[in-house]
Structure 1
Amino acid sequence: MTSIPATKAAISALKIEQRVERDVKAGIPEHDRRNHTESEEGLRSYVVREIIGRVHENRQTELDKELADRSEVEIRQLFQDLKNTDALVEKKISSRMANLVSGLKRSAQDYSAVRMDLEIFRHRNGLTREAVYRESRILHHSVIFFIVILETVLNAFFLSKGSDLGLVGGFFQAFIISLVNLGFAAFMAFSLRNCFHQNLVRKGAAVLVSAAVLAVAIIFVLGVGHYREALEQNPFTASQLAMTSLWNQPLGIQDFNSWIMVVVSAIALILLTAKFFVVDDRYPGYTAITRRVRALQKSWAETFEEAIESINELGEEVHELLAEKEKTIRAQFIQFKASIERSEEIHRHYHEDIAKAQGLLDELIRYYQSYSARMLNRRAAYFGELLRFELDKLPRLNTTGLEQHQQDLAAFEALMNELDEAYIGAIDTVNARCESVQESLAALVDKLELDYGLRRA
């Protein structure tokens, strides 16, 4: 902001002494004059134009900036939004409810369809009991992995002596044997499970397959023992020797370590078969369809819980939005009121600047008269009043926006008195609407469960 300069600075800027010297040489001022000289009028014009004009421009810029800041407030709109919370909540809920209802219906249809498949499966297969199986797949695979690794390690010890690669070669041979046993166990468990099927043809075929797999598995286990014994005799022809010995004398293993290896493989095969068999229900296919039913049953329950949680999240979201609006209203009101006070202060300072400018003009005229009197060696030639600003011709600050905003401030103060009540009412509206929607969802779930036969009435 341009400030009122000091008297000495103004005297130097206006070059008053040179003006006086010029006027004295021209015979001005006369001793008994009653009017101002051209130089004196020039001093007034300079102060009005160069000093008050700049001060006015800066003060007006400050006022315009405050006016622009106040024009950006949205107190009325934000307050009206609080009053219209029911419309806001209804808009948000309606868009979300469509997705929630669609998801619940789709989940109910899927669950109902699989339940129907389960009932059809039970009816066709004459089942009246629930499926018995292990829930945890992780534990199942962990036990199988442990059995395979343990069998591999034990067999690797016996096979390492006759292997060209020592313990490493024995380990790989033992690992291959364990994988073959794993395949036999899985196929054996599948065959045994089909032995419980009510279809006689399928049951008979399963019995034959089980017997065949068991026979092949026994031959393979004994062959492992013969191979271990043949390694002791000749590692290079061990396979041929083992096959010949197995064909001629299946139980003719003479080496004790080879029998231990046979026993280890047999035990591993039995354990793996038992593990594969008990992990699912003994009736084939019963576990798979039961797992699907329970998975969709869980999904159905989770869908409803997610729907309720979604409504709760929506309520919290609207609560945060309302709190932000309430906070914004208070902040904007404080800023609006402070801006009006600053604008009034700017207007007051401008009038003070005019008074200071008048004092500066008085000092400049006195200095003009005093210096001219010293040069003429007499008293000051001017006896009238000092120069005065013509106030009606001075630039005025545009305060139209300020006057309007002063009226708005009174209205905003009334709104602030109602803000707490409006905010509490908005929160209550949100809570009531969310509770109503949750009750509607619960009623919809009951209806869907009855319509799709998910529970009895």
Structure 2
Amino acid sequence: MNSIPAIRTAISDLKIEQRVERDVKAGIPEVDRRNHTESEESLRAYVVREVIGRVHENRQSELDRELADRSGVEIRQLYQELKNAESLVEKKIGGRLASLISGLKCGAQDYSALRMDLEIFRHRNGLTREAEYRESKLMHYSVIFFIVILETMLNAFFLSRGSELGLVGGFFQAFIISLINLGFAAILAVSLRNCFHVNLARKTIAAVMLAAVVTLAVVFVLGVGHYREALEQDPFTASQLAIQHLRAQPLAIDDFNSWIMVVVSGIALMLLCAKLFVVDDRYPGYTAITRRVRRLQQAWAEAHEDAIESVNEMADELHEMLAEKEKALRAQFIQFKASIERSEEIHRHYQEDIVKAQGLLDELVRYYQSYSTRMLNRRAAYFGELLRFELDKLPRLNTTGLEQHQRDLATFEELMAELDQVYDRGIATVNQRCEAIQYTLSVLVDKLELDHGLRRA
């Protein structure tokens, strides 16, 4: 063992040979003596102090480290938490369940209130049918974009000849014309939709606006044709010439390409107006409120599913939590048991160290006696028995914590024998509680739908 020094090292450290020479000069040891000399007693003191003392310090430090590690285990706490799985479940789901119930109640109230608004809207406007509109706005805007780009490309071809910038200038002019047509189409669609309103004054205003916008749109389309024709005559004064010809003779367009532009712009305007009109219900405002109701209807349907899914996720979290506690408990028990075994091994090694130290002391005493015999140059005298350790005076390891933990180990082994059953009961408790919560939420949803008139009994 590394803690016990070699005999030669101890002889050198103690300077036994010098001791013997000094003792021999002083007439020590006496012939046929029966008591040990002071030097022999100092050998025992050296081994006790320098050898056993250091070994004791190292072994005690090891024992203290193991004791500190064992003192940090939470086996009883983890076992109790597994055993009281129901309280753990209630602590985990208490706040979340209240949040789910509150969310369902708020969702039911909002959905019910908006349904009531829809019924009031229908009653006030004399509507007995469902709203008719296009669900996909992406497709709607895609078609509008396609019409605008197609009109721009066709008109750009005709406007490029007279433009100072060529095709690029013609493209920008055509694009501006397409945007103006889009604006006219939007106003026409709104005016046409308001012509179906139940309010007579609003219907009249919409009809007047429709007629005015149609007139402006026709004038603008014809003006585009006159502008195209004026570009052939003089590109620098084409705008003035187009306005003059439009005022004098609106339909007097002699250029065939200009008429094609008029037709293209007119068709694009009508297509845009038709597309903007049919995307929503013909009755103004009916689509907007219907969309909001359906969004809340879908949100309400998803709210129940999300609540159930939330409970399932919560059950998975609790299962994982219990599994982690069970895993941690087993790991701590294994470490606790291994630590006790290491502590017992340390104590056993210390006893072995004492035996080895006694052997070292015997060797040192024999060397002292044999060397003194050679120095005296006579037959070996009787030196008495070899020195023995006074065991009751040797330092002892403090094993108070170890003894307590050995008793705890027996208790922990009993807990581990019941751990599987406790864990299974905990999982079953989580499953039963979560199933009960899901049933409670289903009952709550049925009650809310009946109380708020979201479905018939």
Bin for the TM-score computed over the shorter chain: over 0.9
Distance 1:181 1:380 in 2: 134
Partner residue of 2:83? 83
Report how far residue 143 of structure 1 moved: 0.9
- Structure-2 separation of matches of 1:117 and 1:453: 13
What residue is the counterpart of 2:431 in the other structure?
431
Kept after mapping to 2: 8 A contact 1:2/1:58? no
| Residue 106 of structure 1, CA deviation | 1.0
- TM-score (normalised: structure 2): 0.98
- CA offset digits 1:239-281 (Å, max 9, x no partner): 1111111111111111111111111111110110011001000
Offset at 1:329?
A: 0.5
Q: Report Cα offsets for 1:307-326 as digits up to 9, x if no partner.
A: 11221111111111100000
Aligned residues: 457
Partner residue of 1:213? Answer: 213
Does 2:253 correspond to 1:253?
yes
| 1:127 paired residue number | 127
- CA shift at 1:197, angstroms? 1.5
TM-score, structure 1 normalization = 0.98
Question: How far apart are the structure 1 equivalents of 2:321 and 2:299?
Answer: 32
Residue 373 of structure 1 contacts residue 379 of structure 1 at CA under 8 Å; is this kept in 2?
Answer: yes
Q: Is the 8 A contact 1:111 1:297 kept in 2?
A: yes
| Structure 1 contact 361–387 (Cα < 8 Å) conserved | yes
Question: What letter is aligned with 1:95?
Answer: G
Distance 2:10 2:91 in 1: 68
Q: 1:320 and 2:302 equivalent?
A: no
In the TM superposition, 1:144-159 aligns within 5 A as: 144-159=144-159
Could you say which residue in structure 1 is the equivalent of 2:357? 357
The separation in 2 between residues aligned to 1:125 and 1:432, in whole angstroms, is: 52
Counterpart in the other structure of 1:3: 3
Question: Partner letter of residue 173 of structure 2?
Answer: Q
User: Hey, what's the Cα distance between the residues in 2 that align with 1:23 and 1:420?
Assistant: 73
- Following superposition, the deviation at residue 2 of structure 1 comes to 5.9
Counterpart position of 2:456: 456
- Please state how far the C-alpha of 1:99 moved relative to its aligned partner: 1.2
- Structure 2 partner of 1:35: 35
Describe how 1:38-53 pairs up with structure 2 within 5 A: 38-53=38-53
Query: In the alignment, which residue of structure 2 is the partner of 1:401?
Result: 401
In the TM superposition, residue 199 of structure 1 has moved relative to its aligned partner by: 2.1
RMSD of aligned Cα (Å): 1.0
Give the distance between the partners of 1:274 and 1:143, measured in 2 at CA. 11
Match of 1:230 in 2: 230
Q: Which amino acid aligns with 2:56?
A: H
Cα distance in 1 between the residues matched to 2:454 and 2:4: 89
What is the identity, as a one-letter code, of the residue corresponding to 1:330? R
Spell out, residue by residue over 1:191-224, the C-alpha distance to the aligned partner (whole angstroms, 9 max, x if none): 1111112222322222222122111111110100
CA distance in 2, matches of 1:379, 1:10: 26
Aligned to 1:94: 94
Aligned equivalent of 1:163: 163
Contact 2:225 2:261 in 1 (8 A): yes
1:303 aligns with 2:303: yes
Alignment of 1:166-205 (within 5 A): 166-205=166-205
> Shift of the alpha carbon at 1:425?
0.5
The Cα of 1:286 is off from its aligned counterpart by 0.5
Structure 2 residues not aligned, in runs of 5+:
none
List aligned pairs for 1:284-295, cutoff 5 A: 284-295=284-295
Q: Distance in 1 between matches of 2:196 and 2:250?
A: 32
Describe the superposition over 1:335-366 as per-residue Cα deviations: whole angstroms up to 9, x where unpaired: 01100110010000000000000000000000
1:171, 1:186 → 2: CA distance? Answer: 22
Q: Which residue of 1 aligns with 2:63?
A: 63
Q: Is contact 2:156-2:171 (8 Å) kept? A: yes
Shift of residue 79 of structure 1?
0.3
> Which stretch of structure 1 is more off in the superposition, 169-178 or 206-215?
206-215
Aligned to 1:103: 103
Shift of 1:383: 3.2
Deviation at 1:154, TM superposition (A): 1.1
Q: Distance in 1 between matches of 2:185 and 2:55?
A: 100
Q: Secondary structure at the match of 1:214?
A: helix
Residues 188 and 273 of structure 2 are in contact (CA less than 8 Å); yes or no, is this contact kept in structure 1?
A: yes
Residues 7-44 of structure 1: CA deviation (Å, up to 9, x unaligned): 11110111000000000000000111100000000000
Instruction: Report if aligned partners of 2:35, 2:383 keep a CA contact under 8 Å in 1.
Output: no
Could you tell me which amino acid in structure 1 is paired with residue 119 of structure 2?
Answer: E
Tell whether the 8 Å contact from 1:230 to 1:241 is kept in structure 2 after alignment: yes
**1:288-334 deviations in Å (ceiling 9; x for gaps):** 00001001111112222221122111111111110000000000010
**Counterpart code for 2:146:** F
Give SS of 1:181's match.
helix
| Alpha carbons 1:70, 1:336 under 8 Å: kept | yes
Match for 1:260: what amino acid? I
The 2-side partners of 1:347 and 1:449 are apart by: 73
Q: Percent identity?
A: 79
* Secondary structure, counterpart of 2:141 in structure 1: helix
Alignment of 1:385-424 (within 5 A): 385-424=385-424
Secondary structure of the 2:226 match is: helix
Secondary structure of 1:118's partner? helix
Moved over 4 A (4+): none
Q: Deviations over 1:400-451 (max 9, x none)?
A: 1111111111111111111011001100100110010011011111111111
The answer to whether the 8 Å contact 1:159/1:174 transfers is yes
Give unpaired runs (5+ residues) of structure 1.
Answer: none
**What secondary structure does 2:161 align onto?**
helix
Amino acid at match of 1:396: R
Q: Does structure 1 conserve the Cα–Cα contact (< 8 Å) formed by 2:319 and 2:427?
A: yes
Aligned to 1:26: 26
C-alpha distance in 1 between matches for 2:299 and 2:340: 60
